[in-house]
A and B are shown apart, each in its own frame.
Chain A
Amino acid sequence: MGEENKGSSIAPELDAYTEFLKSESCRPLIGDAGEYGEGPLLRIKLTDIILKLCQANSLWPMTFGIACCAIEMMGTGMARFDISRYGSEVFRPSPRQSDLMIVAGTVNKKLAPVLLTLYEQMPSPKWVIAMGNCAISGGPFKVEDNYNVIEGVDKLIPVDVYVPGCPPRPEGLIEGILKVQEKITGTRHPLPQNRHPKSPLRKVKGLRVK
């Protein structure tokens, strides 16, 4: 197959690609496998960038409405605010199909084990948004004689982005999702939403970015 392709138009691009693979930016790195082995062993930069772009632009949130914030979360998905503009409209009822958990509400003692189970059932890589004051710190329920409410969901699971408000407006949640995208790719509005002048992708040779 290789011989047949020699004269074809793909060849120069292939060459460029081979060159590119040899270059500095694609040198395999020893992956940060992490303490629990959640990261990859070997990491190739370009694949990494593309993978992250894909992840950031198709976050699949889990339908996990707990309290008041859940209504705003629903509102975010509906016609006016339309979260699908940012690629995360596919609310999944099962944690096994989702990679973004939006903790929209108060977590109490009885719910905490459930939350942990759900988090553990989500496949890696996964992100968590703590939506609303209850999920951030206990919010209005952080009182002196609190006997039931967990004061902040970050006491149970790692949280990536906090969206304050009681409840936050849908615009707030959208901003939270943009922040998650920024955290994943290192750039706000990653491709294809916005051709950002500072995008690291512009520096990658061989990748056509307009």
Chain B
Amino acid sequence: MDNIIKNFKGFLIDQGFDAVETDYEQRGYHLEVVLTVTQVREFAKKAYELGFYLVFVAGFQVLADPETPSPHSGLAVVYQYARHDRQYRIKACALVPDSLEIPSISDIYQGADWHERETRDFYGIVFSGHHNLKPLLMADMDVDVHPLLKEEAKLKSLDAVSWPSEAPESTE
């Protein structure tokens, strides 16, 4: 397993993931993975088998661009994984499709349960397959209020909030 971690990028590319190594000093994580919606669960399973723990799940919003080859709703979910035995941090990012649905990983990592509920509270992203997607932080009456959604005028495109040059999400 040590060999896999040593060449984790190569391992992921073999498995069909889009992974890029990043400068830790600059970004604070070692590997960036761009996931499609179908890969989210697959990646979580791999990470669990290899002994990664889930640091957090968070959402963010960018300007929806219907002109790109892969249309998305402007919402994205970030997963961060890390290891106990060595310094290795992975950021995985997936764009949420127009249906606002993304598969839940709360049955693989039970810790993702609350993170996903929180992301639903803040952004209205629906995690399909989640067993209990009720409001967590927000009051019950605010079930349809998603406070972290930005106004149209404040939204920026995905390129404008990504690292320049070889950052893979800017090519999306």
Contacts and interface: CB of A to CB of B under 8 A. Distances in A.
Interface residues of B, number: 6
Contacts of A110: 138-139
A147 B145 CA distance: 9
Interface in B120-155: 138-139, 141-142, 145, 147
Contacts of B145: 147
Interface in A135-179: 145, 147-148
A109 interface: yes
Interface in B83-137: none
For the residues of A in contact with B, the DSSP-based class is loop
Contacts of A109: 139, 141-142
Contacts of B139: 108-110, 148
A172 to B, nearest CB: 30
Contacts of B141: 109
A147 B147 CA distance: 7
Nearest to B141: A109
Contacts of A147: 145, 147
Contacts of A148: 138-139, 147
A145 B146 CA distance: 13
A57 B24 CA distance: 61
A110 B137 CA distance: 9
B80 to A, nearest CB: 26
B139 to A, nearest CB: 4
Interface in A89-109: 108-109
A110 B136 CA distance: 11
A137 to B, nearest CB: 21
A110 B141 CA distance: 9
Nearest to A145: B147
A147 B138 CA distance: 10
A108 B137 CA distance: 11
B134 to A, nearest CB: 13
Nearest to B146: A147
Nearest to B147: A147
Interface string A106-123: 001110000000000000
Contacts of A145: 147
A145 B145 CA distance: 13
A157 B141 CA distance: 21
B137 to A, nearest CB: 8
Interface of A: 108-110, 145, 147-148
Interface of B: 138-139, 141-142, 145, 147
Closest 7 CB pairs of A and B: A110-B139, A147-B147, A109-B139, A147-B145, A109-B142, A148-B147, A148-B138
12 contacts: A108-B139, A109-B139, A109-B141, A109-B142, A110-B138, A110-B139, A145-B147, A147-B145, A147-B147, A148-B138, A148-B139, A148-B147
Given A145-B147, A148-B138, A148-B147, 9 more contacts: A108-B139, A109-B139, A109-B141, A109-B142, A110-B138, A110-B139, A147-B145, A147-B147, A148-B139
